[in-house]
Chain A
Amino acid sequence: VSYIIHLIIYFCIFAIVALSLNVCVGYSGRFTLAHGAYFGVGAYVYAILTTAYGWNSFLSILAAALVGTALSLLLSIPAIRLRRDFFVMHSLAVQALLFSALYNWRSHDAPLGSWRNLTNGPFGIARIPSPTIIGIQLTSLKAFGYIALLVGCACGATAWLLTSSPWGRLLIAVRDDEIVARALGKNTWMIGAQAFAAACGMAAIGGALYAMYVGYVDPSLASLDQSVLMLSMVIVGGTGNFIGPLVGTAVLLLIPELLWLTRVPGPLAANLRLLAYGGLLVLVVRIRPQGIAGTFRVE
């Protein structure tokens, strides 16, 4: 049972991230390799506020979302001028800069969370406290499961409402023909900026939830590998609708579990997992560009 709950928690965390990335990739039509960095930023904001400042867990999740949303401007401001592969390269630059900030913002003679030692650098932040509700500390796996389900459903509902609203349809219109949308008087930059704000905020919530569950964060959470993994979830599952990212999350989370169940040794399983992700990316782009259950063809 514990194993199943653990899987559900991971599924909820990465489903939030995949659904948010789908807003950028599937609805906005802009590929980003910076999503891992926003996930990492959310995890760090949560870890710093709860560990160094003693904030309430749920306020910290809210703060993580706000910081992620604010930092989304790093992506949306250049979106005015940059298109396609140059936008992807810019997202890569944002990824590298945020990762560098998390990795290097450390001073050994300053307390954690201070301006000089904000992130504790490569050592990360450990002993993140369990969440508390009305003074009761929730330490059991079941409680985490309920919190993950609650936050996951809230984020899923937000993504559903956003993408099925007139705002979502406008986003699709801009993706399919930006010039027509502009000719109809729509502010296409603003709609793109809003999409990135929503997506980065949700990715940060996913990161905060991860930090809450695992109790430890380090800069590898914000690495390029994470961004590629998240992009794989969306591409493999499918983009442009609600179901695709959920399918992608399930598929990419099940691969390591299947390897574990078939008793493939740990280090080999890690390599096989990444090999499978790579193979799936190539296959999907070649054979089924809309992914397993998506509607928007990435080609």
Chain B
Amino acid sequence: MQLLANGIVSGLALAMLAVAFGVVYVPTRVFHLVLGGVYALVPFVLLAFLREGFSWIVSGGVAVLTGVGLSLAVEHFVHFPLDVRQANPNAHLIAALGAYAIIVQSTVMIWGERMRYLPTKAGALLWFRYFSLTRGQFACGIATAAFLLIFVAWFNIAPSGLHLRALSDNPEEYGLRGHSIRAARLLAFGISGLMCAVVSILAANDLGFDPQGGLRMALLAIVAFIVGGCDSILGAVLGGMILGILRSAVAWWAGSRWEDAATFMLLALFLILRPQGLLGHISRLEVQ
């Protein structure tokens, strides 16, 4: 039961990151690896403002806005110009790797490499009937679940969510009908940055943070997204949960050093045997 509880909490965080990745990938087909940089940078901004004496609300707001701004800036300066030139996904991937390296190395040069912790009492234990969670885990689980619910409802019901889905289905027709592709893309990148920033603060509150952990988390989110199904936001949530529980089980039975091996073994199996993922579907050749 303890294993399941740990898996669900970390799975929810991964699910939120996977959705943050998917909200960009589904409409734009851009591998938004810069999420790793946002994930690494945001907690440092939060801590810096807290140390300057600002309140949690102000510091958290600035940190989240930094994440959103960074995501938008990468779209504006890197991905959109490439998209205008109809660059292939490999070019986007290389540029994203470069942008990630710039963000992380800048973070390291400003704040250093060492592990940091937010000044909270996140380590205190909360006992439930069959399991226990730290306060940080509890907050992370509740907040990510709430965010995911709000996001899925927005994506499926709100007109702006519909716009993103329309952009993913047929970008040419979306533009021809007078909608701004640029605005829809910026919306996707902004939401992605927002979700990544929030989950990064929640995870930093629970486990601490360092500048090098971002890419690993972004890659785990991509694995969750692929496992869940590449066309599906709900698939990303499912993939995140499965991955969280799998990693928790592997850490429990075989040791945490095998977590990554199990994760990427799962990815390789899915890519070879079921590349469309759990909830994805194989589209007709002319649609591809």
User: A: which residues have CB within 8 A of B?
Assistant: 31, 77-78, 81-82, 84-86, 88-90, 92-94, 96-97, 99-101, 103-104, 224, 228, 231, 235, 268, 271-272, 274-275, 277-283, 285-286, 289, 298-299
Q: Which residues of A contact B29 (CB under 8 A)?
A: 85
B 87-101 to A, binary, CB cutoff 8 A, 1 in contact else 0:
111110111011111
B166 within 8 A of A: no
B105 close to chain A: CB less than 8 A: yes
Q: How far is the CA of A99 from the CA of B216 in the complex (A)?
A: 14
Count: A-B pairs, CB below 8 Å: 128
**Which residues of A sit under 8 angstroms from B132, Cβ to Cβ?**
none
Question: Which A residues lie within 8 Å of B93 (CB)?
Answer: 31, 85, 88
Extra 14 A-B pairs, beta carbons < 8 Å, given A97-B265, A228-B97, A281-B95 = A77-B272, A82-B272, A89-B271, A92-B267, A99-B260, A231-B97, A268-B109, A271-B109, A275-B101, A277-B98, A278-B98, A282-B102, A285-B87, A298-B91
Contact A224–B215 (Cβ < 8 Å): yes
- A275 to chain B: which residues have CB within 8 Å? 101-102, 105-106, 109
Q: Which residues of A contact B97 (CB under 8 A)?
A: 228, 231, 278, 281
| Alpha-carbon distance A141/B261, docked complex (angstroms) | 38
Interface residues of B in 71-127 (CB under 8 A from A): 78, 81-82, 85, 87-91, 93-95, 97-102, 104-106, 108-109
Distance between A150 CB and nearest chain B CB, rounded to angstroms: 33
Contact yes or no, A278 B102, CB < 8 A: yes
Binding site for A on B (CB under 8 A): 29, 31, 78, 81-82, 85, 87-91, 93-95, 97-102, 104-106, 108-109, 215, 219, 222-223, 226, 257-258, 260-261, 263-265, 267-268, 271-272, 275
Q: Is the CB of A281 within 8 A of B82?
A: no
- 18 residue pairs from A and B, CB less than 8 Å apart: A31-B93, A77-B272, A85-B89, A86-B271, A89-B267, A90-B271, A92-B219, A92-B267, A96-B261, A228-B97, A272-B105, A272-B109, A274-B101, A275-B106, A277-B98, A282-B78, A282-B95, A285-B82
Q: Within the assembled complex, what's the spacing in Å between the Cα atoms of A280 and B87?
A: 18
9 cross-chain pairs, A with B, having the tightest CB-CB distances, nearest first: A278-B101, A281-B98, A100-B261, A96-B264, A299-B87, A282-B98, A275-B105, A299-B91, A93-B264
A8 → chain B, closest Cβ, in Å?
Answer: 27
A288 to B258, CA, bound (A): 41
Give bound CA distance, A282 to B268, whole Å: 28
Contacts of B267 in A (CB 8 A): 89-90, 92-93
